[in-house]
Structure 1
Amino acid sequence: MANSPEMRASDADRDRVAAILREHTAQGRITMDEFNDRLESLYKSKTYGELAKLTADLPDVDLRHLPVKAAPAGKPQPKGMHTGMKAAWSAWAAASGINWVIWLIVSITAGHTIYPWPLWVMGPWGVILLVSTIFGDNKPKQG
C-alpha cells in the first residue's frame, strides 16, 4: 500500500527525514539556519505530505549508499595505525616518561642511583602494545 500524503507519519519516518536533512546540510545544500527551521517543522509534522514539503526542493538522497569521499588530489590516503592504537602508544609513552622523571627525582634526592623500577611499568605494557601492533588489526578504518 502506497503512502498517501494524508497518511500519518511515524517517529521513524521523521528520523529518516532528519537524516536526509543532515546529509543535505553536510553537502552544503542548506544552511544551518535552514536546517534548524526545517528540523523544527519536521518534528511538528504529522503526515507524509508535510514531511515531503520539507525536502521537496532537494535532490533524492539514498542514505544507505552515500558516495565514498575520495581523498583530495595530492593528499595521500592515511597509512599506519588507527587512532586507538596511536592513543594507546601515547598513553604508554606519557606514563613511562612520568615514571622515569619520578625515578630521576628520587635518585637525585637520595644521593645515589636507585633500582630502575619504571622498567616494570613500561616493560609488560610495552610488550603487550608491541605484540598488538605487530600481530593485531591496526590498519586505519576506511569509510
Structure 2
Amino acid sequence: MRASDGDRDKIASVLREHYAQGRLTTEEFDERLEQLYTSKTYGELAVLTSDLPDVDLRRLPETPSRAPERTKADKKKDAQSKGLAAAWAAWATASGVNWMIWLIIGITGDFPYPWPLWVMGPWGVVLLVTTIAGGQARDRNRDRKR
C-alpha cells in the first residue's frame, strides 16, 4: 500500500525522537531520512523503523503541524488589527464629540470657525499613515515568507 506525505512525516518524527534519545547516530539518522523521503510504500517505511522499539505504523500520533506557528502570527496580526481599530474608534468618538460641541455652539449663536478639523485632522493623518504603513509591512513580511 502506498504511503502518504503525512505517513512520511510521522515516521520522520519517530526517527527524530529516537535520534534525540541516542538510539541512532547522526549518520544513521541522515541515511534513514534520505530513504524515508524516497519511500513509496508502508513496507519501505516499516523497514526504516523495524529495529527501533515501540514503533507501530498504524498507531503513530499525528505529527504537529505548522498551524501553531501560523496561529501565533495570526494572533499577532489580530492584536495589531484590534489595536488599530481601537485607535480609529477613539479618533471617531473624539471627533464626533468635538463636532457636537461645535454644532451646539453654532445653534445657540453664529457658527464658529470649524475648529474640530484641527483636532481630527492631524490625528487622522497619523492614523492613516500608520494604517497604510502597517499594511505594507504585513505585505512585505508575507512576501518574505514565500
TM-score for the superposition, normalised by structure 2: 0.38
Using CA pairs under 8 Å that are at least 6 residues apart, name the structure with larger relative contact order, 1 or 2.
1
Largest Rg, 1 or 2? 2
Q: Which has the higher helix share?
A: 2
